[in-house]
């Protein structure tokens, strides 16, 4: 028999090792990776509550598992987060079969799923921090893909994420020292500062945002979904666990004050840079800066609703990035450039890609009737309870993003020099566009009926006692 938390870690790593030699057989690698991700989602939802229960004919048991003196346990909240990550990964694996982002994508994302599961089920804070560093290294490789040599995005991402590790490790040492010596509380004050600074770095607060724009401009769009979506959810899971486990951290006003300040600066800078964005990568980066600033502000509200809205924001951000990324992949392949001005007349070459760029871009900006709107509006409402000025700043960042996306839309619909698609499309060519059509339909359905995402975020918070 094997413990379910251990299987969640080992299974994707084992499949990643098996997929790596056959990674260039895209269809096989995609199907095997998708099946593994769906299996992880099912396992995360079916894990027994106690060690005495078992599934899969008694081969997999629930409960905690102790390895080398360290406990691995999948809490109900962790299971929901893992289920969301696995389902998102399954969608990415299916889309990767059409977009061909590079053979390393399939084993790389599978390995990331296994390490992310280890981060979430680990009961030891220091181990979670070290495993987060492993996710950063694996993500940097995934961002670089098949490109050799130095590119700014993955390098900056790895370096800036690594800056958080010493701060969090020192905080972990102080936490362990205080636990062994309950009377020694003098180290808890510095631990609060180290935790706050480390978490702000992981969430790309200014001035640790310098990796966002290069990553958005250089990396394959599906890899961007992993870094800006999946890994941010893992980081938020660690933050939520810290707030849940360390009452002295959750009760201190310091993290909320600094999160609010960092969020305000990040939104303001993202809105200002948006005005001069002339490439798709810059548009992505600036829009994400506003979104990440909103996430920090939500954490700064010191409320259960704020943390729930943060989960909602990340899940809908992933949906927006999938739509945007699919359209951007087709656009870059068609134009051979990341510049918006080179994409003029795209509608004549690929109507669905143009629609995906427009819908995904406005969704990232938070325009009404798009998937990204419910989370952005919920964030504005919660932040306005504490400060109307900060809520107005977030609205300003949203308006700046909408204007930038409108400028992009005008460029896409304008005249271009590329060949225009005729009215008749052969069946095989139409069949290739089916995944994109399904992505668009899913995004439209999510924009009209976002209740399932709200329900998942509420269920995650229902299993946390933070500020109950």
Question: Two tokens at 443?
Answer: 């995004």
The pLDDT of 344-349, averaged and rounded, is: 66
* Domain ranges within the chain, ordered by starting residue: 1-123, 124-462
- pLDDT of amino acid 85: 93
pLDDT tens, residue by residue, 348-376: 667 787 888 899 999 999 999 899 999 99
Preceding peptide of 207 cis, ω within 30°? yes
pLDDT tens, residue by residue, 299-312: 999 999 999 999 99
Average pLDDT of the chain to the nearest whole number: 85
- pLDDT of amino acid 415: 65
- pLDDT of amino acid 465: 87
- pLDDT of amino acid 354: 83
pLDDT range class, residue 334, cuts 50, 70, 90: confident
Answer whether residue 425 shows pLDDT above 70. no
Contact 303, 333 (CB under 8 A): no
Answer whether residue 467 shows pLDDT above 80. no
HEC secondary structure over the chain: CEEHHHHHHHHHHHHHHHHHHHCCCHHHHHHHHHHHHHHHHHHHHHCCCCCCCEECCCCEECCCEEECCEEECCCHHHHHHHHHHHHHHHHHHHHHHHHCCCCCHHHHHHHHHHHHHHHHHECCHHHHHHHHHHHHHHHHHHHHCCCCCCCHHHHHHHHHHHCHHHHHHHHHHHHHHHHHCCCCCCCHHHHHHHHHHHHHHHCCCCCCCCCHHHHHHHCCHHHHHHHHHHHHHHHHHHHHHHHHHCHHHHHCCHHHHHHHHHHHHHHHHHHHHHCCCCEHHHHHHHHHHHHHHHHHHHHCCCCHHHHHHHHHHHHHHHHHHHHHHHHHHHHHHHHCCCEHHHHCCHHHHCHHHHHHHHHHHHHHHCCCCCCCHHHHHHHHHHHHHHCHHHHHHHHHHHHHHHHHHHHHHHHHHCCCCCCCCCCCCCHHHHHHCHHHHHHHHHHHHHHHCCHHHHHHHHHHHHCCCCCC
pLDDT tens, residue by residue, 246-300: 888 998 999 999 999 999 999 999 999 988 888 888 899 999 999 999 999 999 9
Question: Two tokens at 121?
Answer: 């089920």
Question: Two tokens at 348?
Answer: 């004549």
pLDDT tens, residue by residue, 26-38: 888 989 999 999 9
The pLDDT of 28-49, averaged and rounded, is: 89
The pLDDT of 136-141, averaged and rounded, is: 89
Q: 193: Cβ–Cβ under 8 A, 6 or more apart, which residues?
A: 254
The pLDDT of 67-72, averaged and rounded, is: 77
Contact 45, 85 (CB under 8 A): no
Answer whether residue 167 shows pLDDT above 90. yes
**What backbone torsions phi and psi does residue 122 show, to the nearest 5 degrees?**
-70, 130
The pLDDT of 435-462, averaged and rounded, is: 88
- pLDDT of amino acid 75: 86
C-alpha 255/C-alpha 264 separation (Å) is: 14
pLDDT range class, residue 87, cuts 50, 70, 90: very high
C-alpha 90/C-alpha 418 separation (Å) is: 34
Answer whether residue 436 shows pLDDT above 80. no
Confidence (pTM): 0.91
- pLDDT of amino acid 346: 67
CA count, 13 A, side-chain hemisphere, 349: 20
pLDDT range class, residue 468, cuts 50, 70, 90: low
- pLDDT of amino acid 352: 80
pLDDT range class, residue 101, cuts 50, 70, 90: low
pLDDT tens, residue by residue, 371-424: 999 999 999 999 999 899 999 999 999 999 999 999 888 888 766 544 444 333
């Amino acid at each position: 028999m094997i413990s379910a938390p251990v299987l969640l870690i080992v299974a994707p790593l084992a499949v990643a090792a098996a997929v790596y030699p056959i990674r260039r057989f895209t269809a096989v690698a995609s199907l095997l990776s998708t099946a593994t991700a769906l299996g992880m989602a099912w396992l995360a939802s079916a894990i027994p509550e106690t060690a005495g229960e078992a599934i899969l004919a008694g081969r997999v048991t629930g409960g905690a598992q102790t390895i080398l003196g360290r406990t691995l346990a999948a809490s109900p909240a962790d299971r929901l987060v893992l289920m969301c990550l696995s389902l998102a990964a399954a969608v990415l694996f299916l889309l990767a079969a059409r977009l061909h982002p590079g053979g390393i994508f399939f084993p790389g994302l599978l390995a990331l799923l296994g390490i992310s599961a280890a981060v979430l089920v680990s009961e030891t804070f220091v181990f979670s921090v070290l495993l987060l560093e492993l996710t950063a290294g694996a993500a940097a490789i995934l961002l670089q893909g098949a490109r050799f040599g130095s590119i700014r995005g993955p390098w900056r991402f790895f370096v800036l994420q690594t800056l958080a590790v010493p701060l969090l490790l020192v905080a972990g040492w102080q936490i362990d020292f205080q636990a062994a010596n309950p009377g020694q509380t003098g180290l808890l004050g510095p631990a609060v500062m180290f935790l706050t600074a480390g978490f702000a770095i992981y969430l790309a607060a200014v001035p640790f945002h310098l990796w966002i724009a290069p990553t958005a401009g250089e990396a394959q769009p599906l890899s961007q979904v992993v870094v800006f979506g999946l890994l941010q959810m893992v980081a938020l899971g660690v933050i939520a666990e810290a707030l849940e486990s360390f009452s002295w951290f959750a009760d201190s006003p310091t993290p909320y004050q600094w999160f609010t300040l960092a969020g305000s600066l990040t939104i303001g800078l993202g809105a200002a840079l948006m005005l001069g964005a002339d490439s798709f990568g810059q548009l992505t980066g600036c829009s994400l800066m506003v979104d990440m600033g909103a996430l920090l502000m939500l954490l700064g509200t010191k409320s259960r609703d704020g943390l729930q809205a943060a989960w909602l924001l990340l899940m809908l951000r992933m949906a927006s990035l999938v739509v945007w990324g699919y359209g951007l992949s087709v656009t870059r392949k068609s134009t051979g450039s990341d510049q918006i001005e080179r994409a003029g007349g795209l509608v004549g070459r690929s109507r669905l890609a143009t629609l995906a760029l427009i819908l995904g871009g406005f969704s990232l900006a938070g325009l009404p009737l798009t998937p990204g709107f419910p989370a952005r509006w919920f964030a504005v409402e919660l932040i306005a309870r504490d400060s109307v000025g900060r809520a107005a700043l977030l609205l300003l960042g949203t308006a700046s993003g909408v204007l930038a996306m409108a400028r992009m839309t005008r460029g896409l619909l304008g005249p271009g020099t590329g060949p225009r698609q005729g009215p008749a499309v052969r069946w095989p060519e139409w069949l290739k566009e089916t995944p994109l059509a399904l992505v668009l339909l899913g995004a439209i359905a999510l924009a009209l009926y976002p209740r399932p995402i709200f329900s998942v975020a509420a269920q995650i918070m229902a299993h946390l006692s933070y500020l109950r």
